[in-house]
Amino acid sequence: MSHEALARYLQVSDEVQAALREGKPVVALESTIISHGMPYPKNVETALHVEEIIRQHGAVPATIAIIRGKMTVGCTAEQIEYLGKRGLDVSKASRRDLPVLLAKGEDGATTVTTTMIAASLAGIRVFATGGIGGVHRGATTTMDISADLEELAQTPVLVVCAGCKSILDIGLTLEYLETKGVPVLGYKTQEMPAFYTTHSGFQVDYAMSSPEEAAAVFRAKLDCGLRGGMLLANPIPDAYAMDLDYINANIEAALAECDRLGIHGKAITPFLLDKIQKLTGGASLEANIQLVYNNVALGAEVAKALVK
């Protein structure tokens, strides 16, 4: 795509442009967590605090969303407030939705997939989020597999997360990523974290001991022209981790209600996260917020190491 054509659909803030031009570390952030992840005003407060954490660690935040038909990289506080207030009225935008929203001039909250796309187009190499999507439970019959996995297979962005959401089939998710050649690294762990909990029973490919080590692996991947991104799984801090059996019992209850109500497609994840929050008396929401804070701090350190 020519620069002129891309400019019709991509808007990068002056701050982010300057940071990239000067070789400063930049960390991309998604917007689905704002519009679909939690209620207003908690969503806006969390998003702004996430940006502040990144700044405290010496990097530049770039919250990404689709605003009136433009992939906006580096949302303003006013735009974050706008997304937070609109909430579920903002479309959840994955790769298949992107061209429609851009052509129609509409708003969209970017998922892991679309955040990776916009970040890559802008020249950002590090993205920190909560948890990635993956292979859903029962996918052997439903074929319900998140587009996040395919994006990781083709878009050169390092994604820092707390593993894949524990409502998913973690074993099949790891098998899919292996098939696609996506390196799955654990930050100071050999075990794949499962979002709300540090334990899943599944191993990652390699354990990284520092942000510098993870950045060096990704740099080698980029230098060799190897296609796709990389996953750096960062366990939720122990103080906020939930008991594996407890969270699994609540997930099973939420899944049963999801089946009973006939909810499917991209409505499944927001429904399950909301239901689990209610079943746990809000504990899962607090865990979600704290793991995001933990991930963005690590993302900033990796971004700093990468630009060195």
- Residues with catalytic function: 30, 165
Q: In this structure, what DSSP letter does residue 58 have? A: T
**What tokens were used for 181?**
């050649």
Residue 129 corresponds to which amino acid? Answer: T
Residue linked to tokens 């019959």: 141
**What tokens were used for 15?**
């701050």
Is the separation of the CB atoms in 198 and 228 below 8 Å? no
Distance of CA 247 to the CA centre of its chain: 21
Is the separation of the CB atoms in 122 and 72 below 8 Å? no
Contacts of 2 (CB under 8 A, 6+ apart): none
Is the separation of the CB atoms in 91 and 107 below 8 Å? yes
Is the separation of the CB atoms in 43 and 34 below 8 Å? yes
| Residues 30-46 as b or e (16 or more Cβ within 10 Å = b) | bbbbbbbbbeeeebbeb
Helices (H), the chain: 3-7, 14-21, 32-35, 42-56, 77-86, 98-104, 112-122, 139-142, 147-154, 170-179, 211-223, 244-261, 268-279, 283-307
Could you count the other beta carbons within 10 Å of the beta carbon of residue 151?
26
* Residue among 76, 51, 77 at smallest CA distance from 300: 51
